[in-house]
A and B are shown apart, each in its own frame.
Chain A
Amino acid sequence: MQGEALKGHLDLLLLAALEGRPAHGYAVVETLRRRSAGTFDLPEGTLYPALHRLEGAGLVSSRWTEDSGRRRRVYQVTAQGRKRLAKRQAEWQSFADAVNGVVGGMG
C-alpha cells in the first residue's frame, strides 16, 4: 500500500503495533507487515519520524537497550498513548462501520 494512503492512519497503526509490548523500529515494521498480511509495506525509514513525533507528543516513550552488542531504541506506549489509542480505535470502528454500511449495500 502506498505511504500516502497510510498517512492519516499511521499514528493509530503504530500505537496499535506497540500496544502489546515494547518493541524496536524493525519489530514494529514486521508487526505491521505481518498483521496486515503484507499490505502495509511502507518505506521503513519513514517510520522513525512518526515514532519520534509520537514520543514528542508523550504518546510513546523510548530507551536504548543493548542485546548481543547491538544497541536498539525500544519504544513503548505510555498511559496517555493508551488513552489516545482507545479513542482512535473507537473512531476508526465507527468510521469503518459507516463505510461498510454504505459500500456493503451497493449493488
Chain B
Amino acid sequence: MSAEIDRYVERLTAELRKRGAAETRFVEETRGHLADAVEAAQRRGLAAEDAEHEAVERYGDARTVAAHFAAEKDRTLHWILLGAAVALGLAIAWVDARPHWDDAGITAGMLLLSAGFLGLMGPRRPWLWALGIGVWIPLRIVVHAPSMGNVLGGLAILAFPMAGAFAGMAVRRVTDHASSISRL
C-alpha cells in the first residue's frame, strides 16, 4: 500500500476516533476500495502516484467522510440506546420502589453499571444515557415528597449513572484508540 493511501487511512481513522465511530470494518473497506481505485486508474494509463492521488481525491475529504459515517451510525444507534436507557432506568426505579427493597448500594451499582454499558456502546452522548437511566428514581422521590432536600438528593443519585456513562465512554475511547493503533 502506498504512502499516500496509508496517510489517508490514518487520517480517516483518527477522524473516526475523534467522533467515537472507529470501526475496523469500515477502515478495511476503505483500504480495499482505494486499492481497487488505484488499480482501475492505472489501467486507464495513470502513473502510480497520480492514480493514488485520484483515488484519495474521489474517496472524499477524510473529515467529511468520517463525519458522514459517524452521523449515519449514530442515527440508528441513538434510538436503540435511548430506548434501552429508559427501559433500564424504569426497571431499576421499579425495583427500588418495592416496599421491601432497602439496598441503596445495589441500586447505585445497577445505575452505575447499566449506564457504563450504554456509555461503552454509544460514547457520543453519555449524558443522555445517564439521564435516561437515572432520572426516574429522583423524579419519583421529588413527585412523592417535593422538597429542596429531595431535589438535592435526586441530583446526588444522578451522579451514579453519570459517572458510569462517562467511564464507559472513556473505556470505549481508549479501546478504539488502542485497536486503531495496532492496525496501523
Does chain A have a CB within 8 A of B76?
yes
Does chain B have a CB within 8 A of A97?
no
Does chain B have a CB within 8 A of A72?
yes
Q: Do residues B32 and A43 form an inter-chain contact, with CB atoms below 8 A?
A: no
Q: Which residue of B36, B65, B76 contacts A46 across the interface (Cβ within 8 Å)? A: B65
Does chain B have a CB within 8 A of A79?
no
Query: Which secondary structure dominates chain A's binding surface?
Result: helix
Closest to A26 in B: B36
Does chain B have a CB within 8 A of A49?
yes
CB-defined interface of A45-82 with B at 8 Å, one 1/0 digit per residue? 11011101100100000000000001111000000000
Chain B residues with CB under 8 A of A24: 32-33, 36
CB-defined interface of A15-45 with B at 8 Å, one 1/0 digit per residue? 0000000001111011000000000010111
Q: Do residues B32 and A71 form an inter-chain contact, with CB atoms below 8 A?
A: yes
Q: Given contacts A45-B59, A48-B26, are A53 and B72 in contact (CB under 8 A)?
A: yes
Q: How many B residues are at the interface, by size bracket?
A: 20 to 34
20 additional A-B residue pairs with CB within 8 Å, beyond A27-B36, A41-B58, A43-B61: A24-B36, A26-B36, A26-B40, A29-B33, A43-B58, A43-B60, A43-B64, A44-B59, A45-B33, A46-B60, A48-B69, A49-B73, A50-B72, A52-B73, A53-B72, A53-B75, A70-B32, A70-B35, A71-B32, A72-B32
Closest 8 pairs between A and B when the two form their complex, measured CB to CB: A43-B60, A45-B65, A49-B72, A26-B36, A45-B60, A45-B59, A49-B69, A44-B59
B-side residues, CB < 8 A to A, are 12, 25-26, 28-30, 32-33, 35-37, 40, 58-61, 64-65, 68-69, 71-73, 75-76
A-B contact pairs, 27 of them (CB 8 A): A24-B33, A25-B29, A26-B32, A26-B33, A27-B36, A29-B33, A30-B40, A43-B64, A43-B65, A44-B37, A44-B59, A45-B60, A45-B65, A45-B69, A46-B65, A46-B68, A48-B26, A48-B30, A48-B69, A49-B73, A52-B72, A53-B72, A53-B75, A53-B76, A71-B28, A71-B32, A72-B32
